[in-house]
Structure 1
Amino acid sequence: MTDTSPVQFGFLLFPGFPMACLTSAIEPLRAANEITGRRNFAWRLIAEACAPVRSSAEIGFEPDATLQEAGGLDHLYLLSPPTAAYADPRRSPARLRWLDRTGVTLGAFSGGIFPLAQAGLMEGRTCSVHWCYEAAFKARFPEVITTETVICRDRRRATVSGSGAVFGLMLRLIEERLGRDCMTEVACWFQHPVLPEEDLAQKTPVGRADSLSERLATPVRRAIDLFSTHIEDPLRIPDVAEAVGLSNRHFERLFKQETGQSPLRYYHQLRLRKARQRILYSRDGLRDIAISVGYLTPATLARHYTEMFGICPREERRLAQAG
């Protein structure tokens, strides 16, 4: 007998959560219900306390239930900034682990992967981490396996980087419940690309306004991959040129043509951006951060950081925490 009861979704909201991810999750589910004329999907907003939760856009949302009350769920997704902390660091993670034991699919959108991993619920599983938060996440949870794909589903875990990818995950869930025709109609309602592949890599900027990593010439893309995997132990540019099969002069010319920057400058800025992620989204000390991005001293890092971002690391962290 076919189960006609609606699939129950819960969205656990932390202060400062990305509002675009919430609407990107709910709207396709609502449209699927409207298209079919049936309540195939239902959803509730959940919070740790029975009080409005303000989003990153400074708009408050009234929860339908607290986390301790929430039951009858098929899916529960965490939405938060990467700096989120549990209001109740003992009971809330314990409740999430209990929901996991009852068979609920757990997941996270954008920065929500941080509290999900903090609850110990990503051990032995792979997750998608937004490139903006990658350095901070890997430093805090080095044992958790990450992927650069926009959507990752691994044994009742679904993690997603960015609101567009959230919409893509919902399309996939709609297809699995209602078939491809309904999913396609939902996508067309919103002029959204039909069902992106789950292994689609995240789009990342590479310098010039019109440049994305996926559009670069192969040697340049390979060089950037090498840069990205040698942040703590920086490579010499001539060694990178040799590794991608080009003379140093040809490599320098091609790299600047593709990205608008010399490879040395690009590499330098990449390391500083990784440092900035940890300044903004972690509590790590400046010495540890400096070492993690290949600087011998925190003073050198601070000087280069200030030159690039116009503010010293300690001041930027103070302002971020005050906000």
Structure 2
Amino acid sequence: MHARKERHIGFLIFPGFPMACLTSMIEPLRAANEIAGEDIFRWTLISEDGGRVEASARVGFDPDVALADIDDAEQVFLLSSPSSLFQNPERSNGKLRKLARHGVTIGAISGGVFPLARSGLLEDQTASVHWCYEAAFAEEFPHLATSSDVITFDNRRVTASGSAAAFDVSLHLIEQAFGADVATEVACWFQHPFVRGQGVLQRKPTFAAESTSDMLPPVVRDAVAMFSSHLEDPLNIADVAQEVGVSVRQLERLFQKTTGSSPLVYYKSLRMHKARQLLLYGTQTLVEIAAAVGYSSSTTLAKTYKEVFGILPKEERSKINMFRVREGIRASD
């Protein structure tokens, strides 16, 4: 029996990164080594300068190496918040591009897709973007192709929408190294329900209801799809009802039954959640955000925003900017 080749994976962590995404990748790899009785997978924690990094949960991590000194990893995954930036973008983005040129697979988990895109390594690629970041990502990178799949494998780019998707990425790596039986056993160890791959869509919440978008009846799902594609130029509810083939009264009953709100309130909620994404993760002004969700002024937006979230947009942005300054990551105006 031939000895299996060691698989070395690097995790590039930025201040404020989601810790769950890191553990969701490492723990399955550790379990696979244990189940198979072979230390095939090894991993290295990387930071830009090799210094200590604090996760969003205020847990500190001491990386093994600086980005400039990593040369033998087969894959490198970026883990960050959407606002994370390199302290020395020219040098560090150059290092990532050099790794990619030398055949290293470069990936990103959750918010890590933002610094990956800023590095230029998603040009002519498709990336999975978490639904809560999609508006901000589209604002900053309107020319890049995105997917609502939980995972996207595109040439030597791997993107995963969140921590559960990161676990699925590790299961795919395990299957490649040890076979399907070990991957299935690892999934069962952690009570992971099934191995998801490319083509599986993210589940999105139906706001103000205990359900997800895939649980909605077809008429409501079609109406929500129309709402979602017309956030900047809001539609008349009567026109939506006609398009999906029911009366306004029928549409209202269906929405109330399945989402707990009227179509109009649900539509407003969708627009406000997009506004919140842009506010928290983007750099647009409040006037620009208002226009992006179909409001004529930032004053009107602010009133509705407070009705939905209980806080004014300016106050929310001030809170998130305080966090960004404290974490040493980008703050927007």
Range into which the TM-score falls when normalised by the shorter chain:
over 0.9
Equivalent position amino acid for 2:322 in 1: A
Do 1:151 and 1:158's aligned partners in 2 also have CA atoms closer than 8 Å? yes
- Aligned residue for 2:135, secondary structure, equals helix
Aligned length: 323
Letter in 2 for 1:227: F
Equivalence for 1:88: 88
Deviates more, 1:127-136 or 1:302-311: 302-311
- Residue 121 of structure 1: aligned partner: 121
The worse-fitting range, judged by mean Cα deviation, of 66-75 and 191-200 is 191-200
Instruction: Quote how far apart the aligned CAs of 1:307 are.
Output: 2.1
Cα displacement (A) at 1:161: 1.0
Using the TM superposition, give the Cα deviation of residue 3 of structure 1 relative to its aligned residue in structure 2, in angstroms.
6.6
Residues 131-146 of structure 1 correspond to what in structure 2 (within 5 A)?
131-146=131-146
Corresponding letter in the other structure for 1:178: F
Q: CA deviation at 1:229?
A: 1.1
What does residue 23 of structure 1 align with?
23
- CA change 1:237–1:231 in 2 (3 A) is same
Instruction: Give runs of aligned pairs for residues 224-263 of structure 1, distance below 5 A.
Output: 224-263=224-263
> Helix, strand or coil: the match of 1:45?
strand
Secondary structure class of the residue paired with 2:69:
coil
Letter in 1 for 2:231: I
Q: Distance in 2 between matches of 1:197 and 1:227?
A: 28
Answer with 203-212 or 153-162: which moved more: 203-212
Answer whether contact 1:222 1:244 (CA < 8 A) is retained.
Answer: yes
Q: Which residue of 1 aligns with 2:162?
A: 162
SS at match of 1:307: helix
Say whether residues 1:184 and 2:184 are aligned partners.
Answer: yes
Counterpart of 1:79 in structure 2: which amino acid?
L
Correspondence 1:40 to 2:40: yes
Aligned partner of 1:65 in structure 2 is: 65
Over residues 188-239 of structure 1, what are the superposed CA-to-partner deviations in whole Å (9 max), with x where a residue is unaligned? 1111123123211111111344211111101111111111111111111111
Which one is further off, 258-267 or 1-10?
1-10
Unmatched tracts of structure 2, length 5 or more: 324-333
Q: 1:312 corresponds to which residue?
A: 312
Cα drift, residue 2 of structure 1: 5.5
- State the distance in 1 between where 2:2 and 2:67 align: 30
Residue identity in the other structure for 1:137: F
Partner of 1:218: 218
Q: Which amino acid aligns with 2:269?
A: Q
Deviations for 1:125-144, whole angstroms, at most 9, x for unmatched residues? 11111111111111011111
Other-structure match for 1:285: 285
Q: 1:188, 1:261 → 2: CA distance?
A: 38
Question: d(CA) in 2 for partners of 1:18 and 1:120?
Answer: 23
TM-score, with length taken from structure 1? 0.97
CA contact (8 A) 1:9 1:43 kept: yes
Letter in 2 for 1:309: F
Residue 272 of structure 2 aligns with an amino acid whose one-letter code is: L
C-alpha change, 1:128 and 1:3, in structure 2 (3 Å) is farther
User: Following superposition, which runs of at least 4 residues in structure 1 exceed 6 angstroms of deviation?
Assistant: none
Code of the aligned partner of 1:91: R
Give per-residue Cα distances to partners, 1:122-181, cap 9 Å, x unaligned. 111111111111111110111111111111111111111111111011111111221111
The separation in 1 between residues aligned to 2:217 and 2:312, in whole angstroms, is 35
C-alpha RMSD of matched pairs (Å):
1.3
Q: Secondary structure, in 3 states, of the residue corresponding to 1:68?
A: helix
**Matched residue SS, 2:258:** helix
Where do 5+ consecutive residues of structure 1 fail to align? none
* Cα distance in 1 for residues equivalent to 2:111 and 2:259: 28
| Amino acid in structure 1 at the alignment position of 2:314 | R
Q: Percent identity of the aligned residues?
A: 52
* Larger deviation, residues 212-221 vs 195-204: 195-204
> C-alpha separation between the residues in 2 aligned to 1:276 and 1:166?
25
Contact 1:207–1:261 (CA under 8 A) maintained in structure 2: no
Question: 2:6 — aligned with what?
Answer: 6
| C-alpha separation in 1, matches of 2:294 and 2:149 | 26
Contact 2:12-2:67 at 8 Å conserved across structures = yes
The reply to whether residue 54 of structure 1 matches residue 50 of structure 2 is no
Letter in 2 for 1:41: F
Matched AA of 2:183: M
- Structure 2 contact 209–259 (Cα < 8 Å) conserved: no
